[in-house]
Amino acid sequence: QVQVVESGGGLVQPGGSLRLSCVASGSISRITAMGWYRQAPGKQRELVARIIRGGSTNYADSVKGRFTISGDNAKGTVYLQMNSLKPEDTAVYYCNVLSLDWGWREYWGQGTQVTVTS
């Protein structure tokens, strides 16, 4: 019923940029927040950026000043502009959708690979 699809990943050199997109579709209650998480090999999944209904945002310290999250929770769309990419940004990036209005409902995309290497 609910599908979350990421796109925009790829291979980029250090210092380069990528823009990730996420679209959530299907029977989703009003969205509380959407965000981007990433998981590198051997690491736990970590929050990269989140945008909450009302417009507030949060970023991991490691990406502040380099990444920008934007989107429209009502439309189920979220984007992540990634600039000044570093090798340590290499990971699978996952889109997360959270709805709390009618209980805890959380959805994940399948992930999109971001590889930063020279």
Q: Are 17 and 10 in contact (CB under 8 A)?
A: no
pLDDT-derived band at 34, boundaries 50, 70, 90: very high
Per-residue pLDDT at 117 = 96
The letter for the amino acid at 36 is W
Mean pLDDT confidence for 24-37: 92
Tokens 């590889």: give the residue: 115
pLDDT-derived band at 1, boundaries 50, 70, 90: confident
Half-sphere exposure of 55 (CA within 13 A, CB side): 0
- In sequence order, the 6+-apart residues with CB closer than 8 A to the CB of 5 are 22, 23, 24, 25, 95, 109, 110
Per-residue pLDDT at 74 = 87
Condensed to tens digits (0 to 9), the pLDDT of residues 47-74 reads: 999 999 989 999 999 999 999 999 998 8
Q: Are 108 and 38 in contact (CB under 8 A)?
A: no
pLDDT-derived band at 102, boundaries 50, 70, 90: confident
Distance (Å, whole) CA 111 – CA 118: 23
Distance (Å, whole) CA 21 – CA 109: 11
